[in-house]
Amino acid sequence: MQGLFVPQFTAFDKNNNVDYAATIEHAKWLLANGVSGLVPFGTFGEGASTSLRERMKITEQLADISHNSALIPTIISNSLGDIWEYLDFVKDIPVEAIMVIPPSYFKPIDNRSLIEFYKAVADRTRHKIVAYNIPACSLKIDVDVAKNIPIWGIKDSSGDINSAKDYLESGVKVLLGSDILLANGIALGASGGICGIGNFFPKQMLKVYKLSIQGKIAEADDLVKSIVGVFDSILKPGFTFVDAIGCLKSAAPQIIPTKLGDMRLPCPTFRSTDAELKNLASAVKELESQAI
C-alpha cells in the first residue's frame, strides 16, 4: 500500500444520526480528486462514536464506489468480540486492508498480551492488518510489538518523526498519520500517509506525496506546511485531537462542498468567529490559487 490516503469524515445530522448520503457524497468527492484511497472510521471519521451496524452499512456503500481505489476501514473498539464480528462481516468485501487500534480501556497492557491480541485479529481475516499507533488516544505500539505481529505495517500518528524512523529501521512499513511529517517520513522510507487534512485539500496533499516520492522533500515540506498553516486562524494552542477535529469540522463548509455536520456527542464543537472564518477564507483562496 502506497499513496495518499484520507481518513474521511463521517457526516452526522443535527440529531446526531449518521448522514449516510453525505458521507458517501464526501467520499466520492475525495476519490474524484485523485486520492489513493479512503480510511473510514478513524479519528477524523469518529470511529469510536459509531456503532458496529453503522460501520457495516457505510463499509458496504463505500465498497460500491471505491472501485480501483483502496478502502481501509478502521476498527476502534475495546471488544475483541466486536472486532471479530466486523472482520467476519467484511471477509467477502473487497477492502485493501483493515486498520485496528489497540483496545485501551484496560491499562496497562503488557507487550506480550498486545502481540497475542494482534495475532488473534490476524488469524480471523484474510485481509491485511494495519496497526494504528496513536498514543494520545490509545496504547502505544512499541517497536518490539510491531515487528513481532503478523501485520502489513503501522499507521503512526504519534506526531514524532523518530517514532516512524524506529519502525522503519526495524523493517516495519509505515503510513504517516501526522500530515506535517508526511514529506520527511517518506524521505525516511514511509509508504505514504493517512492524512486528515486531505479531507479539505485532497489535490494539494496528493501533490505533497508526489513531490516527496520524487525526492523533492524541501518543496514538499514547504507545501504541507502552507496547507496546514491555512488553519492557523481557527486552531488554538492547547487543542487536543478532539478539540482540533471539532473545530476543523465546524469550519468545513468554508472548503468542503458536502455538508458534514458537527462531531457526534459528547465530542465538543468549537465555533470559529466571523473574523476567524474570514481569515480562513482568505488563506484558502491563496492556497487554491497556487498551481497544482
Over the stretch 83-106, which tens digit does the pLDDT of each residue have?
Answer: 999 999 999 999 999 999 999 999
- Residue recorded with cell 506525496: 209
**CA nearest to 65, candidates 101, 93, 41, 102:** 93
Domain boundaries, the chain: 3-214
> Are 33 and 202 spatial neighbours (Cβ–Cβ below 8 Å)?
yes
Give burial (CB, 10 Å; 0-12/13-18/19+) of 148. middle
pLDDT at residue number 68: 87
The structure's pTM equals 0.96
Q: Where are the alpha helices (DSSP H) in the chain?
A: 20-32, 52-66, 80-89, 111-123, 143-146, 161-169, 182-188, 202-213, 217-229, 241-251, 274-288
What are the average pLDDT values for consecutive 10-residue runs of the chain, which has 292 residues? 97 98 98 98 96 98 94 97 97 96 92 97 97 95 97 98 98 98 98 98 98 98 97 93 94 96 94 96 93 65
Grid coordinates given for 121:
485479529
- Residue recorded with cell 473498539: 77
CA 275 – CA 193 distance, rounded (Å) = 32
Please state which CATH number belongs to domain 3-214.
3.20.20.70
pLDDT at residue number 194: 98
